[in-house]
Structure 1
Amino acid sequence: MIIHDKLTNLVVFLPRIGVGVVGLGRIGQLHAEIFCTKIPNAELVAVSDVIEDVAKNVAARLGVKYYTKYEEMLKNPEIDAVVICTPTFLHKEMIILAAEHGKHILCEKPITVTVEEADEALAKVAKAGVTLQIGYMRRFDYAYQQAKEKIKKGEIGKPITYIAIARDPAPPPGWAADPKLSGGIFLDMLSHDFDMARWLLDAEVERVHVEGGAMIYDEIKEKGDLDVVTINVKFSNGAIGHVHGSRKSAFGYDLRTEVLGTEGTVYVGYRQDPMFAIGTKQGLVYWGIKWFFKRFYDAYVEEDKHFIQCLLEEKTPLITGEDGKKAVQIAEAAWKSYKEGKPIQIT
């Protein structure tokens, strides 16, 4: 990338990372737009989707090339890194292909459907010597980062309890509704909370005990997934925790997290949109938050910036492939606990 500084009349050469995005659903288009407009040292080179009209329209809107075949995009020498935003059951093969083509990888969460698949992908990444970052964007959210900082500084004393509430406005569409393809509620939805638990407490989840069921949607029950769960957890540092998830929240997206310490508590999240309310003699009414895009847009931007910075500075990403694998391990243990009706130790 070449920039002409008009004040000094100097020509400055800045490093540039060429990026290709594969999978142009809602998350893929979001990443493509961010890399195209928000990341100074990145250049969106191309996008790819198996549906040609989608790929063509996104490419035209952003002024880049498009492909319908992922492997063809990987052959483009202008692309240094790929962002994988395809369905979870495709991640393993796409990570491996990118690594074999020498491309660095930002892969949306979760890394894979199973731990076995994660091990295969990580082995190929290590052999190729490329960088892999997993897209648990909450680590880049300003509120969660504040919580991490306060805990690390000891401002709440010793962390002893982690509490997470995650409720989506509606069940997932399409392939994500099938737990064989997405990993179901524990992996597709709550792996965010598993990752956050490990990060905030700086400890591993050693045991899980699940209660739950398909209590709301018949279609979820038919596919073998769950729509309401509670997970009691035990951490390697002795702390305990509780994660609750639901595929329905009538008023909107509801995400809250607490960490209780011996000297205080940190709180992250809110149930209502604080930017608007209507007050009448009946009371004060806030709207709910429609979905996570609005809540975490800035976090997605910071996540993508971090990925490019890691490549330029040859640094290890904040969320590694191993972190991604840990979330899958916890999800697998949660499924086992639910099916066997007992606590499961994670080794």
Structure 2
Amino acid sequence: MEKVRWGVIGAGGIADRRTIPGMLGSRISELVAVMSWPKEDADRAARKYNVKVYYTVEDILADPEIDAVYIATPVYLHKEQAVAAAKAGKHFLLEKPIARTASEAEEVVRAAREAGVKATEGYMMKFHPLHRRAKELIEEGKLGKPVLGRAQLTTWYPDIPGAWRQDPEKGGGGALIDMATHCYDLLRWLMGSRIVQVYAIANTQTFGYPVDDSSTTLLLFEDGAHGVVDSFFNIPDPAVRNRLEVYGDRGSIMAEGTIGQSGAGNMIACLMKEVGGYDAQQERRPEDFPAEEIKAGPANMYALEVDYLSECILKDREPEVNALEDGLEIMKVVDAAYESSRTGRAVSI
């Protein structure tokens, strides 16, 4: 079977923990080279995966045996490296967020379109089997009209000397841009509607770094639905369930642990075939809730996001999931959220 030959720019962090291992089990994606720095890190990755090694972006992009690159570097490097990949004729998967600002994201989108390369962004949670099943139920109308979505992604991220995510010039912000973006993207996809207005609070309550360790965002979708996203760097990991909730006028879908890197978690749905009149007693007994567990087979989200782009490349098909234009829309939400936090006002997009 024909395979897409991949190179990785930035072979540490999430690439080494999740994405490269996902590539290794693929039928249509093959890792052929890594590029990282310092040199010792690049050599270590090349030995670990038994592939070619490069020490500069220019050199790995010049390799004619590479069809596509996965860019997993700090956010402040995304624009420069993605534009370079496009100009070199390489398809690319770009880690999230696409850039630090919407204006930077626009340059990435424009470069990819002018070069005619296939490109996607690394919001892998849309490939979680339970999230896909939830999307199917919503599209089938089982939930009725979605009216409220809530997503939570939180981690414990204390002061770490030299951590680029804690430097506003390198990361573009803190918990909001790093983690809330996952939730914005997931809710927009599940709700099936654009985010058109935000009200956000992003501040630093606990740590000493100059980016937000706390963020809460209220969302208004184009169809009138509401959304709530909470992402924090200052809540201990065992204390958080990373919940996902979608409510419609015919029921709800609720999950715990599906938002995150592991691909685990559980999900239940409360779907009403009929909705009666107003209940003045407001008695809500557990036995009255027709909840059912939603099940889906196991899958590696990172392998699926790589293979999705590989399939698009092999079939010469434009990506519909995680397209760069979607990433640009999310960055417009980010810009508006930070503006809202600074001004104390709701901001339209």
2:128/2:263 contact within 8 Å kept:
no
Listed as ranges, the matches of 1:219-230 within 5 Å are 219-220=208-209, 223=210, 225-230=211-216
Report the 3-state secondary structure (helix = DSSP H, G, I; strand = E; otherwise coil) of the residue aligned with 1:292. Answer: coil
Residue 248 (structure 1) shift: 2.4
Percentage of identical aligned residues: 32
Aligned residue number for residue 143 of structure 2: 156
Report the 3-state secondary structure (helix = DSSP H, G, I; strand = E; otherwise coil) of the residue aligned with 2:45. Answer: helix
**Aligned with residue 206 of structure 2, among 216, 239, 244:** 216
Aligned residue pairs total 310
User: What letter is aligned with 2:2?
Assistant: P
1:168/1:254 contact within 8 Å kept:
no
Aligned residue number for residue 168 of structure 2: 179
The structure with the greater share of residues assigned to strand is 1
1:142 has 2:129 as partner: yes
1:49–1:270 Cα change, 3 Å: closer
Equivalent-residue separation in structure 1 for 2:263 and 2:112 (angstroms): 32
User: What letter is aligned with 2:100?
Assistant: V
Report the 3-state secondary structure (helix = DSSP H, G, I; strand = E; otherwise coil) of the residue aligned with 2:37. Answer: coil
Equivalent-residue separation in structure 2 for 1:24 and 1:167 (angstroms): 24
1:55–1:175 Cα change, 3 Å: same
1:292 has 2:241 as partner: no
1:335 has 2:322 as partner: no
User: What letter is aligned with 2:44?
Assistant: N
1:155/1:263 contact within 8 Å kept:
yes
User: What letter is aligned with 2:75?
Assistant: T
Residue 197 (structure 1) shift: 1.4
Equivalent-residue separation in structure 2 for 1:80 and 1:123 (angstroms): 20
Equivalent-residue separation in structure 2 for 1:65 and 1:146 (angstroms): 39
Residue 212 (structure 1) shift: 4.2
Listed as ranges, the matches of 1:1-347 within 5 Å are 14-29=1-16, 30-35=18-23, 37-171=24-158, 173=160, 174-184=163-173, 185-217=175-207, 219-220=208-209, 223=210, 225-252=211-238, 254-270=241-257, 292-293=261-262, 295=264, 298-317=300-319, 318-346=321-349
Equivalent-residue separation in structure 2 for 1:293 and 1:47 (angstroms): 24
Q: Which moved more, 1:248-257 or 1:109-118?
A: 248-257
Runs of at least 5 residues in structure 1 that lack an aligned partner in the other structure: 1-13, 272-288
Residue 294 (structure 1) shift: 6.3
Equivalent-residue separation in structure 1 for 2:69 and 2:202 (angstroms): 37
Residue 293 (structure 1) shift: 4.2
Report the 3-state secondary structure (helix = DSSP H, G, I; strand = E; otherwise coil) of the residue aligned with 1:254. Answer: coil
1:98/1:104 contact within 8 Å kept:
yes
Q: Which moved more, 1:297-306 or 1:74-83?
A: 297-306
Runs of at least 5 residues in structure 2 that lack an aligned partner in the other structure: 266-298
2:193/2:223 contact within 8 Å kept:
yes
1:144/1:268 contact within 8 Å kept:
no
2:150/2:245 contact within 8 Å kept:
yes
1:256–1:341 Cα change, 3 Å: same
Q: What whole-Å deviation, never above 9, does each CA across 1:68-124 have from its counterpart, x for those lacking one?
A: 111101111100000000000100011111111100000110111111111111111
